[in-house]
Amino acid sequence: MTTSDWITDIALILVVFRQLREGRLDLKSFLIPLGIVTFVAHTYLDSIPTGGNDLVLVGTLMAAGAALGVAGGVYTRIRSAGGHLLIKAGAVSAILWVVGMGARMGFQLWVDHGGGDDVARFSVTHHITSDQAWVAAFVLMALTEVVTRLATIFIRSRMAPRAQPAPVTGREAPVADTLV
């Protein structure tokens, strides 16, 4: 793994840790993770191989990413306060995010440090035609996890009841004077 691989993987993992503290749900909440996965897809996704069972591998990992993303979005708390929506990733959401992102990083480390032959044998046995099929599958898994998590949060935010802030009238409330 290169330094940029490490930085990218760690950045993706840190995205959810940013949400462990409750904060305002705003455009940044969506754009930062989407920007990171767009960069990753642009950097690593040259093509999507379609030979052999490559699409089965890609589809399987994308389905896993979708499941992790939807579950992560469901286990993210969204509440209204002061006229704003607040978001906080719960423990389950954080664990699911780290499992998904960490699995990809772990797979890459394993391949780089002795697991390459096992992956090659698996690929031959299951008719996966190239290394690019694995790259595409894992990149699309990450992309799917991020997009489905954000879509789930977006949909839930639209359904969340919104508390209205106290009206500001510009007048102070009358004070009762009492004479004793």
Q: What is the 3-state secondary structure (H, E, C) of 98-147?
A: HHHHHHHHHHHHHHHHHHHHHHHHHHHHCCCCCHHHHHHHHHHHHHHHHH
142-172 pLDDT, tens digit each: 899 999 999 999 999 999 887 655 555 555 5
76-128 pLDDT, tens digit each: 999 998 888 999 988 898 888 888 888 888 888 899 889 989 999 999 999 99
**Which pLDDT does position 10 carry in this prediction?**
76
Q: Model pTM?
A: 0.80
38-64 pLDDT, tens digit each: 888 888 888 898 899 999 999 999 999
Q: State the Cα–Cα distance between residues 155 and 20, nearest whole angstrom.
A: 20
**Which pLDDT does position 144 carry in this prediction?**
94
